[in-house]
A and B are shown apart, each in its own frame.
Chain A
Amino acid sequence: MLLGLVKPTSGQAQILGCPFGNVEVRRKVGFLPEDFRFYDWLTPSELLTLHGRLAGLTPAQLRDRVPAYLDLVGLTPHRDRRLRGFSKGMMQRIGLAQALIHQPELVFLDEPTSGLDPMGRHLARDIIRNERRRGATVFLNSHLLSEVEITCDTVVFIKQGEVIGSRDLRSCPEGEVHVRVRANNLRQEILPGLQQWANSAQLQDDRLTFSSSSMDSLPEILRYLVSSNVDVFEFTPQRLSLEESFLKIMGEDQGL
C-alpha cells in the first residue's frame, strides 16, 4: 500500500514525510517484491539500466552504478546473459541490485534471502548492513527468523495486519533471560531469596534454572549465590531466541 500497489479503503499514511500516494517520493524508495519477476528478455545490465532510468538516474550515474551494482551482487560474469536462464538465487541477486541502484533512503525487502544459497545469504546480509551504514532504513520482511536475528536492529511482529509486539535486537535490554546454573551445595533454602530477581526457579541435584526479567540483575544473583556458600561452576544466561519470542507472542498455531 505504501508503494502504491494496493489502494487503501480508508485512512491516511505518510512515507518519508509525503502522503503515500505521492509518486515522486518513490525516487527515494527501493523495493524487492517477494514474487519478484522481471522482464526475462533483458540482460542484468539492461534491467538495471531500465530501473535506474525509471528511478531518475542520469546517463553518467548509470555508467558508474550499473557495473558497480552488478559487481556488488556478484553477477558481473553474467552481465550479458538474458535473465531467462537465471536461477531463482541469481534473480534474487539482480532483484536486490534493482532495489538499491538509485541509493534509496528507504528500502523494502520482501523475503530477500528465500531463494539464496548460504553464500548468497551472507552476501545479502552484507549488502543490507552496508545500506544501513550508508544511512538507509531497511525494512526486511521475512519468515526466516534466524536471518532477521542476524541482520536487523529492531523486529516487529505483525499478526493479521496488527503490530502485536516488538523487540530491540541491538541492546536487547528487555526480554526474559533464562539462566542455567551448575553448582555444588545448591539447597532449597536459597530459593526464597532468589525470588526478588528471578522467577520459576527449579532445583534438581547440582542444577538450578530460573528466569529473570532483566540481564542487569544477573551479577546480583551471582553474588547472592556465592554469598550463600554455593560453589558455582557454570552460570549461563540464555536469551529467548527470536523464534521462541515469535511463538510466545503469536501464540499457538490456530491452523489454517
Chain B
Amino acid sequence: MTQLWIIAQVTFREAARRKILWTALLAAAAFLGLFATGVHFQVKDTHFTQIAPLLRSQILRSILQIGFYAIDMLAVLMTVLTSVDSLSGEIASSTIHAIATKPVHRWQLLFGKWLGFAAMIAVYVALGFGGVVAIGHFIAGVVMHGSLQGAVLIYLECLLVLTLTFLFGTLFSTLTNGVIVLGLHGIAFIGGWLEQIGTVTRSQRLVNLGILSSVIMPSEAVWRRASYVMQSSVARTLDLSPFATRSAPSTTMMLYAVVYLFAALMIALYRFNQRDL
C-alpha cells in the first residue's frame, strides 16, 4: 500500500507543481467572481425586488442551477484535460520506464495515479461547488436543497470521466483518448437533452434514445440527477429553463453509473497489466 500512496502523492503533487490545479482553480475563481457579481446585481435590481418573494426565490434558484451547471462542465473538462496525458503520455515519452521498473505492481501504478487525480478533482469540485453554494447563501440568500448530494453526484460524474480517460489511455494515444472520452460525454450530453425534450413532449422514442445514451455513457445522467436533487419541488414541476431537470434519472441508473465506473477501472487495470510499456 505504501507504493500506492507514493504514486498517488506524486500525481497530486505533479498537478500542483505543474500549476495544472492552480490554473484550473484560477479559472473557476474567475467564473465564480463573474457569477457572484451577476447574482449581486440581480438581487439588488429595483425591478427584481418588487417581484413576489416565491417567484424571486425560484428565479434565484434557477440562476444558481446555471452556476452548478457551469462548475460541472468546468470540472468535467478539467478532469479530461489534466488526466488525458497521464498514462498514454508517460508511455509514449518513456517516462514510465524508470517508475515501472521499481518494485511497484502495475495496478499500484495505475490506481495510484487514479487516486491522485481523484484527490485533485475532489479539491476542485469542493471549492467550485462550495463557491456556488456560498454565493447562493451569502449573496442571494437562498439555501439550495440537497447540495451535499449534488456535490457527491458531480464528483461521481468526474470520476466516471476520469476512469474512462485512464481506460482509453491504456489503449490509445493521448489525442485519440481525449477525442473518444469527450465524444462519449458529447453523446451523453445530447442524449440527456433528447430525454428532457421527450419528457416534455411525451415522446417515448426520444426518452428511450436518452436512456440508451446514458447506458453508453452515464455521465450526463449523473449530472441530471444532481441537478434534480438540488431543485425545489416547485421548480421540478414549473421550471422550464434549460438547466432545470424534468426527467430525473432513476436510482438504478445511479447504481449503473457506479458499476460502470468500477467495471471501466477493472478493465483499465487489466489492460495496463497486460500491455508492454
Q: List residues of chain A with CB under 8 Å of any chain B CB.
A: 3-7, 23-27, 29, 31, 33, 35-39, 41-42, 50-51, 53-56, 95, 98
Closest partner residue, chain A, to B90 (CB atom): A37
Find out whether the CB atom of B104 lies under 8 angstroms from the CB atom of A98.
no
Which one of A29, A35, A36, A53 has the highest number of Cβ atoms from chain B below 10 Å of its Cβ? A53
Cα–Cα distance between A54 and B103 once the two chains are bound (Å): 7
Q: Which of B69-125 contact A (CB under 8 A)?
A: 93-95, 97-106
B276 and A54 within 8 A (CB): no
* Given A24-B103, A54-B104, A55-B103, residue A36 in contact with residue B98 (CB < 8 A): yes
Asked if B102 and A26 sit within 8 Å, CB to CB, the answer is yes
List the A side residues contacting B30 at CB < 8 Å. none
Residues on B facing A (Cβ under 8 Å): 2-3, 6, 10, 14, 17-18, 93-95, 97-106, 274-277
For B106, the chain A residues whose CB sits under 8 A away are 4
Are A4 and B100 interface neighbours, CB within 8 A?
Answer: yes
B94 touches A35 (CB 8 A): yes
Whether A41 touches B102, Cβ cut-off 8 Å, given contacts A5-B97, A7-B274, is no
Interface residues of A, dominant DSSP = loop
- Provide the bound-state CA to CA distance between A24 and B6, in Å: 16
Is A7 touching B276 in the complex (CB atoms < 8 A)? yes
Closest to B273 in A: A7
Say how far B269's CB is from chain A's closest CB, in angstroms: 15
* Residue ID in chain A nearest B10 by CB atoms: A50
**Which one, B3, B94, B101, B104, contacts A37 given CB within 8 A?**
B94
What chain A residues lie within 8 Å of B103 (beta carbons)?
A: 23-27, 54-56
Instruction: Give the Cβ gap from B97 to chain A, nearest Cβ, in Å.
Output: 4
Query: A41 near B97 (CB under 8 angstroms)?
Result: no
- Minimum C-beta distance from B216 to chain A (A): 31
- Asked if A51 and B101 sit within 8 Å, CB to CB, the answer is no
Contacts of B99 in A (CB 8 A): 54
Indicate whether A41 sits within 8 Å of B98 (C-beta atoms), given known contacts A5-B277, A6-B276, A7-B274.
no
Q: Which residues of B are found within 8 Å of A23, using beta-carbon distances?
A: 103-105
The answer to whether A50 and B94 touch across the interface, beta carbons within 8 angstroms, is no
Question: Top 9 closest A-B pairs, CB basis?
Answer: A54-B102, A35-B94, A33-B97, A37-B95, A26-B103, A3-B101, A31-B101, A41-B17, A6-B276
Cβ contact within 8 Å between B101 and A4? yes
Some 6 contacts from A to B, beta carbons below 8 A apart, are A5-B277, A31-B101, A33-B98, A33-B101, A36-B94, A42-B17
Residue of A nearest to B16 (CB): A41
User: Which of the listed residues B95, B102, B105, B274 has the most CB atoms from chain A within 10 Å of its own CB?
Assistant: B102
Contacts of A7 in B (CB 8 A): 274-276
In the complex, the answer to whether A37 meets B6 with C-beta atoms within 8 Å is no
Would you give the shortest CB distance from B81 to chain A, in whole angstroms? 17
The closest CB in chain B to the CB of A35 belongs to B94
User: If the complex has contacts A50-B6, A54-B104, are A98 and B17 also in contact, measured as CB distance less than 8 A?
Assistant: no
Q: B104 contacts A41, CB within 8 Å?
A: no
